Amino acid sequence: MRNLLRTDFVRLLKTKSFYVALVGVTAIVYACIFLSSGGDNEAAVVSICNTLCSMSVLLVPLFVGGAYMLYVSAEFTGGAIRNKLIVGHRRENVYLSWNLIGLVDGLIVLAASLGTAALFIGLFSDTSALDTENVIAAAAIVVCMLISKLCMSILISVIIPGAKGMLFNYLFTYALLMFFVIMYDAAPDSKIVKILARCFPEGQVTGLNVSVMPDRPWLTILCALAFSALCVVLGAYVIKRKDLS
């Protein structure tokens, strides 16, 4: 398993899609900060941080997930997965390696874009209006949302490899976003909607606010991780029975 992880990580660092996502997300994040920096007061800082939260639970997973789906799809089209199986790696281990390397990919992009942006804000802006506990809770939710979105993207790329899978992922993301927007407006007190929103980044976009403590952040984290585990188990089942000839 260690050799498999090392091989996949080295291959990831050689793919153009990884650097396109890294540079693209970082550029968009800093462009948003520049356009949102209408002042250095406390309200402006809170507004920028909330914008970063929204971007990190939707934009980063979408960009990274889409780019990583190309990486996984190349395993099928290029025959790399068959070579892994020939040398003795199990299909389940191959799929688990994709998820672990995908998580590393997402965390690198998140740290490079949102992490450096947060550091920049902390050093050069007035952050006295921010509560440390609220920020930590929001950051924990952001990471878990990233994990759930990446696991779902990898699952989709196994079921529908190639550009069709990436297009489906984008359309599914847009459909989920519209669903939660409509449901929040039609049934703001629905327990089912709130539970679903805890599992999907699209449901968290309008819910995170660094100026207030999120509602039961531990439950959001638990639901997101449970959804991620479900995607991994389902993906391992699918790839075990997938025709790779």
Residue 38 has pLDDT above 60, yes or no: no
- What counts of helices (H) and strands (E) characterise the chain? 11, 0
Positive/negative CA dihedral, 84, 90, 96, 99 = positive
Interval 166-225: pLDDT, tens: 888 888 888 888 888 888 777 777 788 888 888 887 787 766 777 677 778 888 889 889
> Mean pLDDT, to the nearest integer, of 4-16?
85
What residue ranges in the chain does DSSP mark as E strands? Answer: none
The pLDDT, as a whole number, for residue 125 is 65
The pLDDT, as a whole number, for residue 124 is 62
DSSP 186-218: H-TT-HHHHHHHHH-HHHHTTT--TTS--SSHH
Domain extent, residue 62, equals 2-240
Number of domains in the chain: 1
Query: Which is more confidently placed, 36 or 68?
Result: 68
> Mean pLDDT, to the nearest integer, of 95-111?
89
In a domain, 245, yes or no: no
